Amino acid sequence: MIYFDNSATTQPHEEVLQTFIEVNKNYYANPASIHSFGVEVNELLDAARGQIAGILKTNKEHVLFTSGGTESNNFAIFGVAKANKHIGKHIITTEIEHASVLEAYKALAKEGYEVDYLSVNKNGVISLDELREKLRKDTVLVTIMHVNNEMGAIQPIEEAAKLIHQHSRAVFHVDAVQSFGKLEVQFKGEAGPDIITISGHKIHGLKGTGVIAFRRKLNIEPFIVGGGQEFGLRSGTVAVPQAVALAKACRIAVEHLQENQAKFKKWRDDLIDFLTAFGNHIYILSSKEGAPHILSFSVRDIKGEVVINALQKRGAIVSTSSACSSRQKKTSHVVEALKVDPHFKEGVIRISFGAKNTDEEIEQFKAIFKEVMNELKGVK
């Protein structure tokens, strides 16, 4: 089987699984307990927090463990917006965010917050001029994803950060779920975000693991109240095995970042050239300036599900868009924002690479796709 759906989830690294098992077996005490066993476990948790903080270039007390990207994004959005409504109730995001961001913004709109949405060009990239125009004195939050999960557009995060910090008091939240481990992701003072959110299962870590990290101390409402764990912002006994396993996955991802980046870029560019040869039967949504691990394209006048099923029968696993929306029947909001031609709207396919893919699988996929195009379109 060729698994090219790594933006939906990845197969955990064996080292990550072994770390999780070992910590569960040997370090099972509650890290909040004051006895020596609890202290030992808390030190292990502290070390995992410090490792991730080091990667992101922040202090370890600014790293909180969560259940994943959706929780982290909700935490950032609701926490900042509600804690700073005395400054204003104006918030900004883009038209192509993940559902965990868009639905949170919609919920705030129902509570009286004013939401502005940034449009994108045909490559899925925002306009910095539009961002500058929409920033106001009462803007309290801006959320922009680093890499789009459906077609791989990379947003100009550093330039956006400078504008936001120069022209508003807003907190800049970057959803780095699809970029961490594939591109450089870290805090860079005023030239970077104030909040970064990460998901473990996108980087060959475990499902149910994630991080919300801060550049500096922020005014933010607690997301879960109770015993005051995670610096009083996310109460509940911390899942130490998950936290340590996530730190392991983060370290592996960063250690192999350049190697994987080069490999993914080679594969993506090769497949773009391969697909371009099919002429007007194929429309490519992704660009060679986008994230190296994501390639989205569409087959003219064919539903994406039909192509996926034909590929799957031959042993190639891909997806229609994001896993969160692929089961829905309506056209993706990202496809709508990109103003894709009606002939190609329903046929979008996403290929996404992971660390476990190989050169041989790329060649195998090409052969399989030729068979599928011959079957569905009569194209050889």
d(CA 317, CA 139): 42
d(CA 284, CA 295): 8
Structure tokens at 346: 């329903």
| Contact call for residues 145 and 122 (beta carbons, < 8 A) | no
Closest CA to 275 of 312, 314, 318: 318
Helix extents (H) in the chain:
14-26, 36-56, 69-83, 99-110, 128-134, 157-167, 240-255, 257-276, 304-313, 333-337, 359-377
d(CA 161, CA 156): 9
d(CA 91, CA 84): 11
Q: What are phi and psi of 41, to 5 degrees?
A: -65, -40
Residues carrying an active site annotation: 324
Q: What is the DSSP string of 287-307?
A: -TTS-TTEEEEEETT--HHHH
d(CA 133, CA 282): 36
d(CA 4, CA 320): 11
